[in-house]
Amino acid sequence: PNTISKYKITIFGKRDNTDEVKYSAAVELILDVQQKIKNPISYPKTWAKFFDLNLNIISPKNTHLINVHNGMTHAEILIQTPDDVELLGRLVYVDNAEKIKGGHEVFYDRHKKLWRCRFAPNTDGTFDAQISAKKKSDSGSYTSVVSFKIDAKNILTPPLSYPETWPKFFDLNLNIISPKNTHLINIHNGMTHAKILIQTPDEVALLGRLVHTNDREKIKGADEVFYDRHKKLWRCKFAPNVNGIFDAQISAKKKSDNGSYACVASFKIDAKNIPTPALSYPKTWQIFHDLDLKIEAPKNRAAVTWPNNTSYSEIRMSAPDNVILSC
């Protein structure tokens, strides 16, 4: 209770070992509050799995409501879990139950040994910050464990949003240099490509691919990902071939790891008025960039056109004086 008044408390119950879904009222009590409560508390919505998994909310304490007001960009919820538990999150607009794209970032902070659950409203209003959990050894789906209300007022434009990330992103200690604070990259009105800059430890390598969101088709020649040894970061370029919505997916692994690359981050690309023909990239390896090679012709194309009435096709390249090429 948060004010002086009389409150009716009803406790519901059902048998756990039956298919019965509905809870029934089991007992009712009257709570008579006769003194003003100095520091009223409230509880976030929790499910039985929260306690079964032995979760612990570190922050915020004693409240179900988080205010994101007057220039604030996001709310952060800190949760301690056992080592064998992992979390997921999503942000939902209360009025229409719409999931907010790019509205959450949930990851394990191995330095603080807790989960950081960040939620960024995209407009003013009331939101549900929903957190789900499961044991890492459990092959089943995640289950809702706790939900906070977020009251958002005077949200900045454009609002903060997060690219989709996987645990490996944080395990490998990756850092997005550009673009900052967004999950969406616009390629409009004659622009040809998007560029994502990522810092990694020396032992990590990246790959990329561009996927059309509607049909999940991988776009051939639409990505160029390489390490820029001068700037000491990875340049990840993505070139849509038509108008539409795309996923710019980035995978990573340690160079010493014999296993396959794993997805670490994904941005949305909104492409409008893409030039024709569209920019595309030939397949290159890291040594191409390490040797400072450049393709002079054909420019900006992954494919070489065989000219009519000729016996050969030509690719012209430039290289430093101390580099020899062979084919």
Residue 9 β-bridge partners: 29
The predicted structure's pLDDT at residue 226: 97
* Residues 238-291 pLDDT 10s: 999 999 999 999 999 999 999 999 999 999 999 999 999 999 999 999 999 999
Mean pLDDT of the chain: 94
Separation CA 282–CA 99 (nearest Å)? 37
Look at 141 and 305; give whichever has higher pLDDT. 141
* Residues 135-172 pLDDT 10s: 999 988 999 999 999 999 999 999 999 999 999 999 99
Cβ atoms of 250 and 265 within 8 Å: the answer is yes
- 3-state SS of the chain is CCCCEEEEEEEEECCCCCCCCCCEEEEEEEEEECCCCCCCCCCCEECHHHHHCCCEEEECCCCCEEEEECCCCCEEEEEECCCCEEEEEEEEECCCCEECCCCEEEEEECCCCEEEEEECCCCCEEEEEEEEEEECCCCCCCEEEEEEEEEEECCCCCCCCCCEECHHHHHCCCEEEECCCCCEEEEECCCCCEEEEEECCCCEEEEEEEEECCCCCECCCCEEEEEECCCCEEEEEECCCCCEEEEEEEEEEECCCCCCCEEEEEEEEEEECCCCCCCCCCCCCHHHHHCCCEEEECCCCCCCCCCCCCCCCCCEEECCCCCCCCC
Nearest to 145 by CA among 79, 16, 48, 21: 48
pLDDT band per the 50, 70, 90 thresholds, residue 12: confident
Look up the pTM and report it: 0.87
The predicted structure's pLDDT at residue 200: 98
- Tokens linked to 167: 């645990």
42-162 and 173-286: same fold? yes
Using CA of residue 220, residue 245, residue 249, residue 135, what is the dihedral sign?
Answer: negative
Using CA of residue 198, residue 204, residue 208, residue 213, what is the dihedral sign?
Answer: negative
Other Cβ atoms less than 10 A from the Cβ of 153: the count is: 13
The torsion defined by the Cα of 55, 56, 61 and 67, in degrees rounded to 10, comes to -40
Peptide bond into 275 cis (omega under 30): no
Q: Would the pLDDT of 304 be above 90?
A: no
Q: Would the pLDDT of 36 be above 80?
A: no
* Residues 55-80 pLDDT 10s: 999 999 999 999 999 999 999 999 99
pLDDT band per the 50, 70, 90 thresholds, residue 22: confident
The predicted structure's pLDDT at residue 64: 96
CATH annotation of 173-286: 2.60.40.10
Q: How far is CA 27 from the centre of its chain?
A: 44
- The residue ranges of every structural domain in the chain are 1-40, 42-162, 173-286
Q: Give long-range contacts, CB 8 A cutoff, 24+ apart: 68-73.
A: 68/121, 68/150, 68/151, 68/152, 68/153, 68/155, 69/151, 69/152, 69/153, 69/154, 70/153, 70/154, 71/154, 71/156, 73/120, 73/155, 73/156, 73/159, 73/160, 73/181
The predicted structure's pLDDT at residue 314: 85
* Residues 99-135 pLDDT 10s: 999 999 999 999 999 999 999 999 999 999 999 999 9
pLDDT band per the 50, 70, 90 thresholds, residue 196: very high
Cβ atoms of 323 and 291 within 8 Å: the answer is yes
pLDDT band per the 50, 70, 90 thresholds, residue 209: very high
CATH of 42-162, one of 1.10.490.10, 3.30.1360.170, 2.60.40.10, 3.20.20.70: 2.60.40.10
